[in-house]
Amino acid sequence: MAESTPLEESRSPRRAPDPRRRSERARRAILDAASELLGEVGYSKVTIEAIAARAGVGKQTIYRWWPSKASVVFDVFTALTGGTAGEPLPDTGDLADDLRTVLRATVDELNDPEMDRTTRAFTTELQNDTAFAEAVTERLVRPNMEAIKERLRAGRDAGQLAPGADLDIVAELLTGPLHHRWMLRTGPLTHAYADELVDTVLTGLAPRG
């Protein structure tokens, strides 16, 4: 199955696929195939060969864009989250309300089966591949933590957090327990839980008196 060359395309413009659209279609098919396979066989058993076969492309097409299985899964995750790492949190002026909105959204994401399995695939690879772990931390985790801290800083300036609150610690108090509960499946991930977590942290750390 020879691919049409740009020259051939220029000879029969009405029938020739747009290479950029074809590329985007292949890229999308590869990410979809990877996501499906994650759900069916789990990260450790997914192979580039299987992704290529499922997507109907050659292995070389995948390797042209991604150096490894881990990097494909990275982009599955990015596509799922809409590439929102580091996006500012809502700021309605009410810190507690905004944090509840954000943590409820995180709960919804983690309860989504596709998101759950992609994040677990991620978590698997994080344990075994230090370079991948660093990429995830730098491109996803740290920008998200900075965005949370930025919102906390505005809240602290507005007198909604104790003046001496260490924002790194507060950001971890909000994300760590949720992550722990999701990963170890020690309790339900609900909006009520998200709300209680936010309220416990903020009530505890509100200015006194």
Residues that bind its own copies (CB under 8 A): 42-44, 120-121, 123-124, 126-128, 133-134, 136-137, 141-142, 145, 165-166, 168-170, 172-173, 175-181, 183-187, 196-197, 200-201, 203-205, 208
Residue 35 token pair: 């996501």
Nearer to its own copies, 85 or 165 (CB): 165
Give the residue with the Cβ less far from its own copies, 147 or 197.
Answer: 197
Amino acid code (one letter) for 104:
R
Nearest distance from C-beta of residue 113 to its own copies, angstroms: 13
Question: What's the min distance (Å) between Cβ of 26 and its own copies?
Answer: 28
Shortest CB 184 distance to its own copies, Å? 5
Name the minimum Å distance from CB 39 to its own copies: 12
Burial zone of 78 (CB within 10 Å; 0-12 exposed, 13-18 middle, 19+ buried): middle
Q: Which residue in 39, 63, 36 sits closest to 49, CA to CA?
A: 63
Question: Cβ(160)–Cβ(98) under 8 Å?
Answer: no
Of 57 and 165, CB closest to its own copies: 165
Closest-CA residue to 39 (of 121, 123, 133, 129): 121
Q: CB of 152 within 8 A of CB of 161?
A: yes
Distance CA 75, CA 77 (A): 5
Residues 6+ apart with CB under 8 A from 110: 116, 119, 178, 182, 189
Spatial distance between the Cα atoms of 52 and 25, rounded to a whole number of angstroms = 13
Nearer to its own copies, 141 or 154 (CB): 141
Question: Closer CB to its own copies, residue 5 or residue 128?
Answer: 128
Smallest gap, in angstroms, from Cβ of residue 88 to its own copies? 20
Residue type for position 58: G
Give min distance, CB of 49 to its own copies, in A. 17
- Using the minimum distance from each CB to its own copies, give the nearer residue, 158 or 192: 192
